[in-house]
Amino acid sequence: MSDTSLADKALGSESVGKLLVRLSIPAITAQIVNMLYNIVDRIYIGHIPGVGAPALTGVGVCMPIIMIISAFAALVSMGGAPRASIFMGRQDKESAQKTLGNCFILQIIISLVLTVVVVVWNGQFLTAFGASANTVGYAHSYLTVYALGTIFVQLTLGMNAFITAQGFAATSMLTVCIGAVCNIILDPMQTVSI
C-alpha cells in the first residue's frame, strides 16, 4: 500500500482526537519554526556594528508588507487545500489534482505580480508603513531581497497546506524546517551586504 493510501485510510478511519494531535503538533511546530525566520534575521541584523539599531528598525518596518505577502499565500491555500480534500474524500482524484495544479499556477502568478509590485514600489510602501530617512535604506535592502524570494514563500506556504490536507503534516513541517535552517545559514552572508 502506498504512503498516500495509508494517509487516506488514516484520515478516513482514525479518531478525530488522534488525528487532531497527529496533524496539529507538526502544524504548530512549523508555525513556531516559521517565526524563527524573523527572529534570526533580527538577531544577526541587531549585531551589525554601528548600524544595528537603525537596520533592525528597518526590518521591523518591513513586517506589515511581509505579512501581506504571506496572506496572499494563505488566500490560495486556505481555499484550495480544503477543496482538494473534499475531492479526495469523494475519491475524485482527478478533480483534486486539477485543484492542486490550478492553485500552484495561481501561486506562481501571484508571486510574480507581488515581486514586481514590491520591487517597483518598495520605497513608497516602506514610507507608508513608517520608514524614516535613517531606516528606509536598510528596509529597502531587506525587502528587496525578501521580494526576490517571494515565489519560494508563496509556494512553501501555499503548497504546504495541500501536503497537510493529505495527512502528511510532518512532511509539511519538514519543508518549513529546511527553509529555516537555510535562512540561519544564509543570514550571516545577507547581513554583511546590508
CB 48 within 8 A of CB 187: no
Residue 2 confidence (pLDDT)? 45
Residue 172 confidence (pLDDT)? 86
SS3 186: helix
Please check whether residue 161 lies inside any domain of the structure: yes
Rounded to an integer, what distance in angstroms lies between the CA atom of residue 54 and that of residue 169? 39
Please check whether residue 4 lies inside any domain of the structure: no
Rounded to an integer, what distance in angstroms lies between the CA atom of residue 180 and that of residue 174? 10
Please check whether residue 5 lies inside any domain of the structure: no
Q: Domain total for the chain? A: 1
Which residues, in sequence order, are CB contacts of 15 under 8 Å at separation 6+?
A: none
Rounded to an integer, what distance in angstroms lies between the CA atom of residue 97 and that of residue 110? 20
CB 136 within 8 A of CB 123: yes
The string of pLDDT tens digits covering residues 38-61 is: 788 888 888 888 888 998 999 899
SS3 89: helix
Please check whether residue 123 lies inside any domain of the structure: yes
> Is the per-residue pLDDT at 128 higher than 80?
yes
Residue 186 confidence (pLDDT)? 83
Residue 22 confidence (pLDDT)? 81
Confidence (pTM): 0.80
Residue 190 confidence (pLDDT)? 67
The pairs formed by 39-47 with CB atoms below 8 angstroms and a separation of 24 or more are 40/180, 40/183, 40/184, 40/187, 41/142, 41/183, 41/187, 41/191, 44/187, 44/188, 44/190, 44/191, 45/138, 45/142, 45/191, 45/194
User: Which pLDDT band, with edges at 50, 70 and 90, does 81 fall under?
Assistant: very high
The string of pLDDT tens digits covering residues 142-169 is: 899 889 989 988 888 889 889 988 888 8
The string of pLDDT tens digits covering residues 83-118 is: 999 999 899 999 999 999 999 999 999 999 999 999
Please check whether residue 189 lies inside any domain of the structure: yes
User: Which pLDDT band, with edges at 50, 70 and 90, does 1 fall under?
Assistant: very low
Residue with the three cell numbers 497546506: 161
Please check whether residue 173 lies inside any domain of the structure: yes
The string of pLDDT tens digits covering residues 17-41 is: 887 888 788 888 888 887 887 788 8
Structural domain of 170: 15-193
Residue 132 confidence (pLDDT)? 92
Please check whether residue 2 lies inside any domain of the structure: no
Please check whether residue 137 lies inside any domain of the structure: yes
Which residues, in sequence order, are CB contacts of 53 under 8 Å at separation 6+?
A: 46
